[in-house]
Amino acid sequence: MEPRILHVGPLTERFNQRLASEYDVQQLWKQSDALAFLDEHGAAFEVVVTSARFGCSAAMLQRMPIVRAICSFGVGYDAIPVDEARQRGIQVSYTPDVLNDCVADLAMGLLIDSARRISAADRFVRASLWPAGHFPLARKVSGKRLGIVGLGRIGKDVARRASGFDMQVRYHNRRPDADSSYRFEPGLLALARWADFLVLTCPGGAATHHLISAPVLDALGPEGILINVARGSVVDEQALVAALMEGRLGGAGLDVFQAEPRVPEALLSLDNVVLAPHIGSGTEETRLQMEELVFANLRAFLDKGEVLTPVV
Ligand code: 8YV
């Protein structure tokens, strides 16, 4: 008999229906009080299916004593208590690699848009301002200096794309990547001072909380541009808003925010900011591959007792 599965939050209708038709599933988002529901029924679930967005809180996990696996949709697992899961012998899977291209593509898109001000130019044309005057000059992209914070799988794909734009690339990680020929910069402030563009591709969570603080933004400076496709928590958002408003930072391209889906009101009126609603992996092709990988992990765990792509 298949074990009971707790499905935490809705993904595509295709995914929700397939999961519900192939397995014995309880859809948690349909319960008015998730924790009260788990107080009563949590002991029945052996597997949790969730996503980077919905995660699985420690409070939920505590209410599920026989859970053996958490299969998550997405590469970030900052919303899953991985240490607690590990201590309890619970396997956690995620969907790395299949989304690298799309997140790196979006990072480059936001970078080019922020520097060349494509979205602002689009607003200019739509507002019929062109006949009355020229759109202001923007900033060149090719040949510039790109700092990457977090040279992991996605960061490396951003670097590869940047080489097509003849950019110089340096990166900051907790430690140097022995397999990488890009120059490691041990100081984040020094990287920000050097860079024209600073792209964030590091994981979220406690270790990177507010890594990008006011001094880092000041080091990037009035001609510098910050691109965040990582997590909102990596940036001190108040400091970012202040730096943009006061002209201490040149611009920003942001796909992620501290309290999604809420975006700071002040950003909405700034023309030097490009805003996206967390769409890094959001293409038909990539989301389908992510879905397939969740199902493959689930099947592998149920058949062989081992997920395919565990969080390590
Ligand atoms: C989410 C993401 O998966 O993979 C991640 O970590 O942030 C996204 O791809 C997506 O928003 C659904 O939660």
86 and 127 housed in the same domain: no
33 and 164 housed in the same domain: no
Phi first, then psi: give them for residue 221, nearest 5 degrees.
85, 175
84 and 149 housed in the same domain: no
Residue 116 located in a structural domain: yes
Residue 280 located in a structural domain: no
User: Which residue carries 């996990």 as its tokens?
Assistant: 61
CA-to-CA dists, residue 216 to 63, 188, 225, 252, angstroms: 41, 7, 12, 14
Residue 310 located in a structural domain: no
Task: Kindly tell me the sign of the dihedral angle through the C-alpha atoms of 29, 35, 41, 47.
Answer: positive
Nearest to 234 by CA among 247, 250, 252: 252
152 and 258 housed in the same domain: yes
Substitution candidate for ligand 1 out of 73, 100, 291, 293 with most atoms within 8 A of CB: 73
271 and 299 housed in the same domain: no
Q: How far is the CA of 204 from the centre of ligand 1 (A)?
A: 12
Q: Quick one: CA torsion of 241, 244, 248, 249, rounded to 10 degrees?
A: 110
* Alpha carbons 55 and 77: distance in angstroms, whole number: 7
Identify the residue whose C-alpha is closest to ligand 1 atom 3. Answer: 74
11 and 104 housed in the same domain: no
21 and 79 housed in the same domain: yes
Q: Which domain holds residue 62?
A: 4-97+285-304
Q: What is the pLDDT of residue 2?
A: 72
Task: Kindly tell me the sign of the dihedral angle through the C-alpha atoms of 152, 158, 162, 167.
Answer: negative
Beta bridge partners of 49: 7, 71
Q: How many Cα atoms sit within 13 Å of 132 on the Cβ side?
A: 6
131 and 235 housed in the same domain: yes
Q: What is the pLDDT of residue 1?
A: 64
Local mean pLDDT, 10-residue blocks, the chain (312 residues):
90 98 97 98 98 98 98 98 98 98 99 98 98 98 98 98 98 96 98 99 98 98 98 98 98 98 97 97 98 98 98 90
* H or E element in which residue 170 lies: strand 168-172
* Alpha carbons 49 and 142: distance in angstroms, whole number: 42
Question: Which CATH number do you get for residue 189?
Answer: 3.40.50.720
18 and 84 housed in the same domain: yes
Give the residue numbers annotated as catalytic, written as ranges: 231, 260, 278
257 and 293 housed in the same domain: no
Q: How far is the CA of 52 from the centre of ligand 1 (A)?
A: 5
Count of domains for the chain: 2
134 and 206 housed in the same domain: yes
Residue-by-residue DSSP string for 254-307: ES--TBTTB--HHHHT-TTEEE--S-TT-SHHHHHHHHHHHHHHHHHHHHHS--
41 and 144 housed in the same domain: no
Residues enclosing ligand 1, CB less than 6 A? 51-53, 73-76, 99, 278, 280-281
Residue 123 located in a structural domain: yes
Q: What is the pLDDT of residue 3?
A: 82
Beta-carbon contacts of 41 under 8 Å, excluding residues fewer than 6 positions away, are: 26
